[in-house]
Structure 1
Amino acid sequence: MRYYLICYDIEDDRRRNRVAACLKRWGRRVQYSVFEVACKNRRDYDRLCGELGGIREEGDSVRIYCFDQNTRKQSGELDGAPMRHCPAVVVL
């Protein structure tokens, strides 16, 4: 299982809403333009990137940061709360 933090900066409202809708299907929103996503395998990750790539246009910024189970355990919020569970999502 691989975990990803995906954030975006997109000026166009329509594309921004499409990216948010796509990411809601894959993971959970943690801030307005930041999502945590869990992918079970490389195929799921490639599929997610393909969906985002089909929406993104020149000038849009979509950044994906990968972290493993160990890094995830060391991460948390400033109030000391651990990261909430982000279940793997199967998109059919």
Structure 2
Amino acid sequence: MQTYLACFDIQDDRHRRHVAALLGKHGLRVQKSVFEISVRSPEQLQKLHTRAQRWLGEGDDLRFYHLCCECRQKSHAMDARPVADFPLAVML
């Protein structure tokens, strides 16, 4: 499982709603245009890129920042709470 911080700046309201819904299927919204998402494989991330690309117009921006396990453990909110710990559940 790989975790990413996905951030976007999308001008069109309809397109922005579609991208937010798509990202919401993979993780948690932590701010209006920021999601913490998890994917199982590079192929799943590529499918997400392909689906999101159709909703991006000229001047729009969608970025994925990889969050390694160590990076997530060092991350925190301003009130000292740890950030979301992905994955939320592990199937064995």
Q: Once the two structures are aligned, what percentage of the paired residues are identical?
A: 38
How far 1:34 moved relative to its partner?
A: 0.4
Report the aligned-residue RMSD.
Answer: 1.3
Indicate the structure with greater helix content: 1
Q: Does 1:42 align with 2:39?
A: no
User: Do the aligned residues in 1 keep the contact of 2:72 with 2:85 (CA within 8 Å)?
Assistant: no
Q: Does 1:86 align with 2:86?
A: yes
TM-score w.r.t. length of structure 2 = 0.87
Q: Which runs of 4+ in 1 moved over 3 A?
A: none
Residue 58 of structure 1 corresponds to: 58
Deviations 1:13-38 (A, max 9, x none): 11111111111111110001100001
Q: Distance in 2 between matches of 1:87 and 1:50?
A: 23
SS in 1 for 2:30: strand
Q: Distance in 2 between matches of 1:15 and 1:86?
A: 27
Give aligned pairs, total: 88
